[in-house]
Chains A and B, each alone.
Chain A
Amino acid sequence: MLSKLADSTPAMPGLMLASAAGSDSQRTLYPYVTGTSVVGIKYKDGILLAADMGGSYGSTLRYKTVERMKPVGKHSIIGASGELSDFQEIMRYLDELILNDNMWDDGNSLGPKEVLNYLTRVMYNRRNKFNPLWNSLVLGGIKNGKKYLGTVSMIGVHYEDNHVATGFGNHLARPILRDEWHDDMTFEEGVKLLEKCMRVLLYRDRSAVNKLQFHSETLINVNDKLLLLSTAFEWLSKMPKFYTHKQIAKITEEGVTISQPYSLKTFWGFSAFQNPTVGAEGSW
């Protein structure tokens, strides 16, 4: 970049400064293809994350099968809203991080707390260089029985809590969670609560699509034996009743489980929706 500036011979010093703006093409200025809210809660056996599968291109709901949640290592799940290409970049960083961690082969592994703090450092450093990764991330996991749920924003603001959300989720879902979340919810209660949040988001967030993915990280105890990943998956895939576009994923101490996509049931038959323009003729 600097060499390009040196090559151009500006007529006036001012032009030199102006041409520095060319370097803007190297920084993230606006997001282009974005994902909307991610919502996460702690429940009795671990963590549940939910996100829809939409990728918006501005106001167009362009991509409808985008997986915005991914497992990270043995113990964590990450969910992202914001620029999807930056999320893919973050996944590359994390893949390298986990790979190096595994290469030690020494019985130690990075847990969710370590991963979130690593991401915080990455996000904050990029923000300092005025070239942010335009994402809000939710990171949840369970390690040695200890549950962890946290979030970090594109400018590096991070915190942990029993329930977190990104984007519109903060405004629409968190109030519901503040009222109705409690400690030691069962898996069914957790899913139901998250579905309630996602339904509100579907009604009110214009970037939401009715195709959800749930991720959960949990310890499933069946006859005092931990359910293996594949068994858990099957059990989960039998669970949801409306079974087309939503995905629930669960992470046990053993691993991550992702359900098939399915949709929420929605109701549009409210009387106020019939003849909506009756009070204001000509409007739409």
Chain B
Amino acid sequence: MFRNQYDTDVTTWSPAGRLFQVEYAMEAVKQGSAAIGLRSKTHVVLACVNKASSELSSHQKKIFKVDDHIGVAIAGLTADGRVLSRYMRNECINYSYTYESPLPVGRLVCTQRSWKRPYGVGLLIGGLDESGAHLYYNCPSGNYFEYQAFAIGSRSQAAKTYLERKFETFVDSSRENLIKDALFALRETLQGEKLTSSNCTIAVLGIGEAFSTLDQETVQRLINEFEVVGEDPPAEAAAAPDQSDGAEPGPAAAAADDDDQETPAADQGAAPMDI
């Protein structure tokens, strides 16, 4: 895209029927560091790459809790992302106050406003409603789409390729496997750089589990598990108490247990990407 006379204003159409300002805003999303979302029938996992601008600074927060049952990961202008998060939190709280009930996530996603400029941030919104877990992508154009899995931000194509291969398994995936897939996909976007718990953030929410961000220890443990191929993952029961809010229900943990006995074999079959 090159500068042209129709791109100054978001209210100016080009002769080709394009709103260049909106398209430029979508470019801003592509410059941000990667964010990934996946969902099963019962859970949604949000993951993002955290780049600190220097060794001295802390990294920017890119995943926000909007309500117990809704979380959002952003890519692009994080300042705009924070404004939108605050707006969404407000909407959720107002709804809860009036109806004593959680706002269905599908009704939250139509929030873009056309003030002076479009928001330069893409939102991956994971949330629950009556029909289960949902993942939406909200882009600066105001459009939103529902996804089984999606990735946005820089080098997200690598993650998308991985997700496209595996997304059919996500629907019935266990919570643990969903998180592992998220980490796999995240690693793709790093293109060779080592994935550690200090350059990524993972958040989970699900039916019976309030939104929470996994702590660094848990994340590092999970990374270690798949870095060494062939190693049996430790019992799932150890993972459950690590969650800050909503205790993982017993049956779910047991189910995850069963799944994990099988996954080492599956993981070996679908060999980690050797690019």
A residues engaging B (CB < 8 A)?
A: 104, 106-111, 113-114, 117-118, 121, 144
Q: What is the predominant secondary structure among interface residues of chain B facing chain A? A: mixed
Known: A109-B130, A114-B101. 19 other contacts (CB 8 A): A104-B106, A106-B106, A106-B129, A107-B129, A107-B130, A108-B107, A108-B129, A108-B130, A111-B101, A113-B99, A113-B100, A114-B99, A114-B100, A117-B98, A117-B100, A118-B98, A121-B97, A121-B98, A144-B130
Which residue of chain B has the shortest Cβ distance to A108 in the bound complex? B104
In the complex, which residues of chain B have a beta carbon less than 8 angstroms from the beta carbon of A113?
99-101
Identify the 6 closest CB pairs spanning chains A and B, nearest first.
Answer: A114-B99, A108-B104, A117-B100, A114-B101, A106-B106, A107-B131
In the complex, which residues of chain B have a beta carbon less than 8 angstroms from the beta carbon of A121?
97-98
How far is B97's CA from A118's CA once the two chains are assembled, in angstroms? 9
How far is B102's CA from A108's CA once the two chains are assembled, in angstroms? 11
In the complex, which residues of chain A have a beta carbon less than 8 angstroms from the beta carbon of B107?
104, 106, 108
Would you list 21 pairs from A and B whose C-beta atoms are within 8 A, ordered by A residue?
A104-B107, A106-B104, A106-B107, A106-B129, A107-B129, A107-B130, A108-B106, A108-B129, A108-B130, A108-B131, A111-B101, A113-B100, A114-B99, A114-B100, A117-B99, A117-B100, A117-B101, A118-B99, A121-B97, A121-B98, A144-B130
How far is B251's CA from A98's CA once the two chains are assembled, in angstroms? 37
In the complex, which residues of chain B have a beta carbon less than 8 angstroms from the beta carbon of A118?
98-99
Within 8 A of A (CB), among B90-148: 97-101, 104, 106-107, 129-131
How far is B129's CA from A104's CA once the two chains are assembled, in angstroms? 13
B224 vs chain A, min Cβ distance (A): 40
When the two chains form their complex, are residues A110 and B99 in contact, meaning their CB atoms are under 8 A apart? yes
In the complex, which residues of chain B have a beta carbon less than 8 angstroms from the beta carbon of A144?
130
How far is B94's CA from A121's CA once the two chains are assembled, in angstroms? 12
How far is B130's CA from A53's CA once the two chains are assembled, in angstroms? 37
How far is B130's CA from A234's CA once the two chains are assembled, in angstroms? 32
B207 vs chain A, min Cβ distance (A): 13
